Amino acid sequence: MATATAPPAMVERLPRSRSSRPWSWERVTPILMIAPSVVLVAIFVYYFIARTAYTSLTRWRGVVPDYTFVGFRNYARLFQTEKFQADIVNTIHFTAFFLIGCLVLGLGAAVLLDQKLPGSIIFQNVFMFPLALSFVVTGTVWRWIFNPNYGLNVLFQNAHLGFLKSGWLTDPHTALNSLTIAAVWQMSGFCMAMFLAGLRGIPDELREAARVDGASEFQAFWRVVFPLLRPITLSAVIILGHISLKIFDLVFVMTFGGPGYSTDMPGLNMFITTFRQDLVAQGAAIATVLLLMVALLIVPYLIWNLRGETER
């Protein structure tokens, strides 16, 4: 007895979507949108970084380029100079006190503003005003303030506080600290804004729970609030550290590295070496060292941030 077999089922083929094609318009469009930025960054950032690093390994002195390879001779000569050694010490000193001053003043101002006292908005605007200025303007203003003929010394003299008079920018022992004061005055408002945003983002329930458990206001802040501000603190340290390591315009306007080498910085040294003395290879070596200093600060932060995002 013959059995009837069912005809094979007809499988309907769905039309292939455009997005599944390897070179569909939906996939090409994002690449075309970011391609100009990638090309420009590759040329004007990474190419010139590589070019600078290569120039530091040559014998280029003067206006005419000389790409004779000399290895790390420029770096060896650089670290043997008294001026660059003073630059490194000054940078460490300036960075340490600059960070401490900005973080302490910024956090203190943010805590006061978080209390929502009368006049907080006015104080907030006044504290943020220096951030809108450039370091050139800040340097000019503080150079007037520290002038011994019509600055703070005259104010102290008229107030019968002559013992507070100082050489400020003319004394090698106080010039770098005076420079730090001007930088802290400008950038502490940045830390205040970051800390205030962090404090306003912390739920009040956490503080209330700490108070219910018997914690004082200081204990609640130190054990509950402050740990939650650590990511903001780290971000502020990275940004301010990056600014302090490559500081140039403030030093250029206020002291030009003097007296002696007391306020000289790698950025100013690179400018003088390259554009005033025409030692292009030596200036490129200073720029490369400065880049490595900034990378040592930023790269670990980027790695830590990337790990945090992947763990989420």
In sequence order, the 6+-apart residues with CB closer than 8 A to the CB of 202 are 225, 228
Question: CB-based contacts of 83: which residues, under 8 Å, 6+ apart?
Answer: 261, 264, 269
With 70 as the cut, is the pLDDT of residue 130 above it?
A: yes
pLDDT per residue as tens digits for the range 136-194: 999 999 999 998 888 888 888 888 888 888 889 999 999 999 999 999 999 999 999 99
* Predicted confidence band of residue 312 (pLDDT cuts 50, 70, 90): low
Task: Provide the domain count of the chain.
Answer: 1
- C-alpha–C-alpha distance, residues 73 and 151, integer Å: 46
Neighbours of 137 (CB within 10 A): 14
Residue 141 structural domain? 84-249
What is the 8-class DSSP label of residue 5? P
Confidence of residue 219 (pLDDT cuts 50, 70, 90): confident
The answer to whether 110 and 195 have CB atoms below 8 angstroms apart is: yes
Q: What is the pLDDT of residue 179?
A: 95
CB 239 within 8 A of CB 256: no
Question: How many C-beta atoms surround the C-beta of residue 119 within 10 A?
Answer: 8
Q: In terms of pLDDT, which residue wins out, 24 or 112?
A: 112
Single-letter amino acid code for the residue at 237:
V
pLDDT at 1: 45
Q: Say if 104 falls within a structural domain.
A: yes
**215 assigned to some structural domain:** yes
- Is residue 111 in a domain? yes
User: Residue 261: which H helix or E strand, with range?
Assistant: none
CATH code for position 103: 1.10.3720.10
For tokens 């000289």, what's the residue? 264
**CB neighbours of residue 69 within 10 Å:** 9
Which one-letter amino acid corresponds to residue 308? G
Could you tell me if 99 and 191 are in contact, meaning their C-beta atoms sit under 8 angstroms apart?
no
Q: Minimum mean pLDDT among 8-22, 76-90, 97-111, 270-284: which range?
A: 8-22
What the block records as the tokens of 287 is 């720029």
Residue 300 within any structural domain of the chain: no
Q: Among residues 168, 301, 187, which one has the least CA distance to residue 244?
A: 187
Residue 8 lies in a domain: no
**What dihedral do alpha carbons 240, 233, 191, 196 form, nearest 10°?**
160
pLDDT, one tens digit per residue, over 220-275 is 888 888 889 988 998 899 999 999 999 999 999 999 998 999 999 999 999 999 99
Rounded alpha-carbon distances, angstroms, from residue 204 to 105, 198, 201, 208, 224: 24, 12, 9, 6, 11
Whether 52 is covered by a domain: the verdict is no
pLDDT greater than 60 at residue 18:
no
Residue 267 domain flag: no
Q: Is residue 201 part of a domain?
A: yes
Any alpha helices (H) in 45-174, and if so which ranges? 48-55, 73-80, 82-114, 120-128, 135-145, 152-158
- Average pLDDT in the 288-305 region? 87
Least Cα distance to 247 among 128, 144, 168, 135 occurs for 135
34-93 per-position pLDDT tens digit: 999 999 999 999 999 999 999 999 999 988 999 999 999 999 999 999 999 999 999 999
Under 8 Å between Cβ of 151 and 173: no
Sign of the Cα torsion 238, 261, 186, 223 reads: positive
| Number of other CB atoms surrounding residue 288 within 10 Å | 21
Q: What pLDDT shows up at residue 298?
A: 86
pLDDT tens for 107-120 read 999 999 888 888 88
- Residue 188's identity, in one-letter code, is S
